[in-house]
């Protein structure tokens, strides 16, 4: 199912929203010919509309890689995953970037300002994707369907599409909840352009996401029964488990028991670890893969942009590393690499290598931010299949590797950490069993197995299992190690040896541009 759905994503051309009417008369129709009446005239139009929702995660625009649907940022930076990854990894001990583009040094150093272009880009991309979902939901109500003569099985299918749209919206609200705390809040019930969106609170947004995911649970497809790359019940449960693991950060009230409940639902839903860890991050990771729960799908020839896995692969290698072996023969941008904290998580005291640590280079330490060879390169992601072939790649640069938003291994780790933090309904013995399943895959045998675990163990194990997958900032905040001086990494706080940064930086600022545009918004404390 992968390639057919990816082809549709790559060629999606529906408008993101229909907001061309004059503000003074909301009853006027848009002046262009593409209106909701034509786009959603039949059931096929709704399937195309759903495709557009998913495409907005994988593309910067329906007009190609040189155009962005969000303003104020170069289109090459405007892909959702690139922006999200940058916020979650460059700000932590796992990654640092050699480039001097405006905004990157501040993320490297933990000194970003309210007008940081990458944080503004992420915020805007999430708001845009929420807006697209809202528009789809407005146009797919039972009343709208009846008025367009769509009934029976077609209407039932569209009801399922609506549940997926609500999931995608909930996921983007989680991105804003986690990163920005108190964003503006809009749903399909808010009329576009009539009033400026009101600001929500972190606790209220948490409750909304929780309620949405539970409300759509029975309508979503059963786990592993939907088209590849589309959300199902497993994805909703996985996001709920992640939400609950971080509930104390978001609301001040822990929900570790709930994290155990929902991670257990995922674990019991028929997913299974892929035999070889490295195969999760190769271009045929859609084949015989019961571990991945939901992906962002990329196509290296038909749906290209300079973000996504194209960015993850190219920014981590340079021309001296034989880009052909990474499936991007004309690629290699020489930007991202590790800080020494990440490879230090892979000690080898007994000569038994943890195969999850895939690095290139000879210098662990980062002494100069702008020197690409300071710090090991991460070779985890490749646009090459497990059989050694390279998918079609436009200009020899773009990737067809799909990115896992959720996979089973994370749920094992959520279960174990929630148990150690006092959640009920699970057991330490079961947590050890799950951890050893990950470590046996990593080592190829039982030599890396553990018999005792503690809370701090899980932060390190998450680093070993999930590094560069966009989890690290969230994890460090949960462990009170993101801003505090008790845990340091090179150039944290702009100091080579690392130093504490103010605790208000545990969340990002509301972008200055949105504060100016929307009088309902107040800046997060400290900015």
Average pLDDT over residues 293-301: 96
Give the Å distances, CA to CA, from 377 to 97, 282, 327, 334, 340.
Answer: 11, 17, 16, 9, 11
Average predicted confidence (pLDDT) for the chain: 92
Q: Give the residue among 298, 364, 357, 355 at the shortest CA–CA distance from 328.
A: 298
In this prediction, residue 466 has a pLDDT band, given cuts at 50, 70 and 90, of very high
pLDDT at 29 over 50: no
How far is Cα 76 from Cα 479, in angstroms, rounded to an integer? 33
Average pLDDT over residues 355-377: 96
pLDDT at site 104: 98
Buried b (16+ CB within 10 A) or exposed e, 71-83: eebebbbbbbbbb
Q: Element (H or E) spanning 96, and its range?
A: strand 96-97
236-272 pLDDT, tens digit per residue, is 999 999 999 999 999 999 999 999 999 999 999 999 9
pLDDT at site 2: 44
The model's pTM is 0.94
88-116 pLDDT, tens digit per residue, is 999 999 999 999 999 999 999 999 999 99
pLDDT at site 33: 55
pLDDT at site 24: 30
| Cβ atoms 327, 391 nearer than 8 A | yes
Average pLDDT over residues 461-467: 98
Q: Which two tokens stand for residue 356?
A: 């999850």
DSSP 90: I
pLDDT at 86 over 80: yes
| Cβ atoms 92, 489 nearer than 8 A | yes
pLDDT at 31 over 80: no
pLDDT at site 192: 74
pLDDT at 22 over 70: no
pLDDT at site 28: 33
CATH code matching the domain that covers 2-298+404-517, chosen among 3.30.70.270, 3.20.20.70, 1.25.40.390, 1.20.1050.140: 1.25.40.390
pLDDT at site 64: 73
pLDDT at 62 over 70: yes
pLDDT at site 110: 98
In this prediction, residue 21 has a pLDDT band, given cuts at 50, 70 and 90, of very low
Residue found by looking up tokens 């163990």 in the block = 457
Per domain, the residue ranges of the chain are 2-298+404-517
pLDDT at site 124: 96
Weakest mean pLDDT among 33-42, 170-179, 288-297, 457-466: 33-42
């Amino acid at each position: 199912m992968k390639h057919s759905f990816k082809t549709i994503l790559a060629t999606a051309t529906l408008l993101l929203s229909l907001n061309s009417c004059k503000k003074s008369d909301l009853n006027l129709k848009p002046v262009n010919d593409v209106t909701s009446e034509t786009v959603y005239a039949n059931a096929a139009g709704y399937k195309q509309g759903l495709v557009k929702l998913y495409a907005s995660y994988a593309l910067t625009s329906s007009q190609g890689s040189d155009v962005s649907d969000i303003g104020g940022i170069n289109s090459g930076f405007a892909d959702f995953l690139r922006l999200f990854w940058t916020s979650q990894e460059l700000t932590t001990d796992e990654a640092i970037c050699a480039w001097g583009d405006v905004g990157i040094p501040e993320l490297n150093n933990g000194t970003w300002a309210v007008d940081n272009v990458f944080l503004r880009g992420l915020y805007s991309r999430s708001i845009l994707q929420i807006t697209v979902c809202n528009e789809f939901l407005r146009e797919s109500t039972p009343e709208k369907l009846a008025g367009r003569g769509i009934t029976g099985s077609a209407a039932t299918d569209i009801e399922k599409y609506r549940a997926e749209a609500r999931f995608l919206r909930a996921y983007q609200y989680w991105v804003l909840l986690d990163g920005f705390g108190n964003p503006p809040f809009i749903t399909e019930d808010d009329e576009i352009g009539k009033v400026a969106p009101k600001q929500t609170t972190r606790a209220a947004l948490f409750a909304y996401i929780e309620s949405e995911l539970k409300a759509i649970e029975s309508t979503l497809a059963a786990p592993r029964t939907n088209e590849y790359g589309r959300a199902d019940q497993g994805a909703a449960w996985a996001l709920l488990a992640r939400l609950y693991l971080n509930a104390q950060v978001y609301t001040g009230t822990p929900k570790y028991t709930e994290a155990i409940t929902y991670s257990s639902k995922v674990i019991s839903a028929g997913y299974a670890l892929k035999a070889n860890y490295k195969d999760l991050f190769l271009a045929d990771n859609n084949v015989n893969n019961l571990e991945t729960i939901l992906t962002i799908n990329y196509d290296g020839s038909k749906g290209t942009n300079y973000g996504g896995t194209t960015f993850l692969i190219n920014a981590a290698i340079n021309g001296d590393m034989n880009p052909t072996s990474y499936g991007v023969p004309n690629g290699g941008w020489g930007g991202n690499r590790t800080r020494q904290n990440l490879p230090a998580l892979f000690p080898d005291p007994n000569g038994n290598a943890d195969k999850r640590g895939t690095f290139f280079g000879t210098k662990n330490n980062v002494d100069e931010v702008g020197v690409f060879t300071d710090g090991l390169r991460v070779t985890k992601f490749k646009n090459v299949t497990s059989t050694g072939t390279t998918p079609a790649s436009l200009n020899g640069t773009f990737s067809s590797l799909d990115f896992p938003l959720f996979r089973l291994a994370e749920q094992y780790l959520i279960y174990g950490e929630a148990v150690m933090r006092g959640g009920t309904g699970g057991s330490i013995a079961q947590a050890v069993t799950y951890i050893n399943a990950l470590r046996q895959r990593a080592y190829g045998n039982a030599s890396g197995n553990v018999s005792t675990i503690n809370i701090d163990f899980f932060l390190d194990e998450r680093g070993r299992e999930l590094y560069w997958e966009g989890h690290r900032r969230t994890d460090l905040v949960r462990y009170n190690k993101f801003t505090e001086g008790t845990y340091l990494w090179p150039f944290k706080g702009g100091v080579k040896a690392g130093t504490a940064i103010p605790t208000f930086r545990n969340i990002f600022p509301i972008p200055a541009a949105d504060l100016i545009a929307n009088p309902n918004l107040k800046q997060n404390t400290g900015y």
